[in-house]
Amino acid sequence: MTDRVAIEPVIDYLTGLQERICEGIKAADGDGAFREDTWTRAEGGGGRSRVLAEGRVFEQAGINFSHVAGESLPPSATAHRPELAGRRFQATGVSLVIHPRNPYIPTSHANVRFFIAEKDGAEPIWWFGGGFDLTPYYGNDEDCGHWHAVARRACEPFGEDVYPRYKKWCDEYFFLRHRNEPRGIGGLFFDDLNEWGFEKSFAFMKSVGDHYLDAYLPIVERRRDTPYGERERDFQLYRRGRYVEFNLVYDRGTLFGLQSGGRTESILMSLPPLVRWRYNWRPEPGTPEARLYEHYLKPRDWI
């Protein structure tokens, strides 16, 4: 590996990405504004959290930049990577979750991140990770095809096998084992990426981040004015419960943030403002709600 590993250009890219995505989401909403909080972390680093609440299109949109550092890693990081023990670390990323008001617009999530652990006299250990995924309430084949076509386009310059591999990883990662169902229709997920060297790995992370708005905003525009009533809203709130369950039980970023002393408000801004659980609820056969389970919550080739 001959290229130089440096966190500064990654931070520059990520802060710019947060800015661009906030601008795109604000323009699509047309009414709401982002509240910004900058914060520092006692152990090192900090971040910039931006939340749009009660907008015209988006009930809540949280877009977070963070750059944290420390002298030792939390258990979530060292459990499967014992070689990281005893190293100081830096982690930086942009993470976002967009919860729309209209149930016909899917919830979307994206994250791109970089991690480096260093020790005097030793080579640094580093990697990139991230991806984006889509969680519809009332699925639409056109939307699913568009989302995955853009995901494939983000991967194409890096090899024909990249999209199929990271699509499969996304399907497997965003899966609620206790429910035996996927969270949504997937997209891309990658982690521990360093085998391409720093420059190419960084370029791939940037491609994923740069394609998010292209993947999501056309879907928002197509569905934003779809009429809905209490039935659709009720189902949306019920299905949001799955989102909460995944983020609190399985999500690596949530666990890392909480265990590393991150800012709780920023970590949990991914949760929807309103949600509903029901005991042992099942959709009636033949309904649009049942179709979500039968057709959309099944890993498939959407392109």
109 is a catalytic site residue: yes
Is 261 labelled a binding residue?
A: yes
Alpha carbon dihedral 48, 93, 218, 98, in 10-degree steps, equals -60
- Identify the CA nearest to 110 among candidates 146, 147, 73: 147
44 annotated as a binding-site residue: no
Q: State the number of CA atoms in the 13 A half-sphere of 286 facing the CB.
A: 0
Give CA 258 to chain center in angstroms. 17
Residue 67 in marked binding region = no
263 is in an annotated binding site: yes
Q: Is 87 annotated as a binding residue?
A: no
On whether the CB atoms of residues 224 and 105 are closer than 8 A, the answer is yes
98: nearest Cα among 21, 1, 188: 21
Phi, psi at residue 145, to the nearest 5°?
Answer: -65, -40
148 among annotated binding-site residues: yes
d(CA 93, CA 128) in angstroms, rounded, equals 9
* 211 known member of a binding site: no
140 annotated as belonging to a binding site for a ligand: no
**Cβ-count burial 248-287 (b if 16+ within 10 Å, e if not):** eebbebbbbbeebebbeebbebbbbeebeeeeeeeeeeee
Ligand-binding annotation for 146, yes or no, is no
Catalytically annotated residue among 67, 80, 109, 295: 109
CA gap 281, 289 in Å, rounded: 12
Tokens of residue 132, six digits: 């984006």
Which residues belong to the annotated binding site?
95, 99, 109, 111-113, 148, 178, 261-263
Q: Which residues are catalytic?
A: 109
Which residues belong to the annotated binding site for a divalent metal cation?
99, 109, 148, 178
Which residues belong to the annotated binding site for substrate?
95, 111-113, 261-263
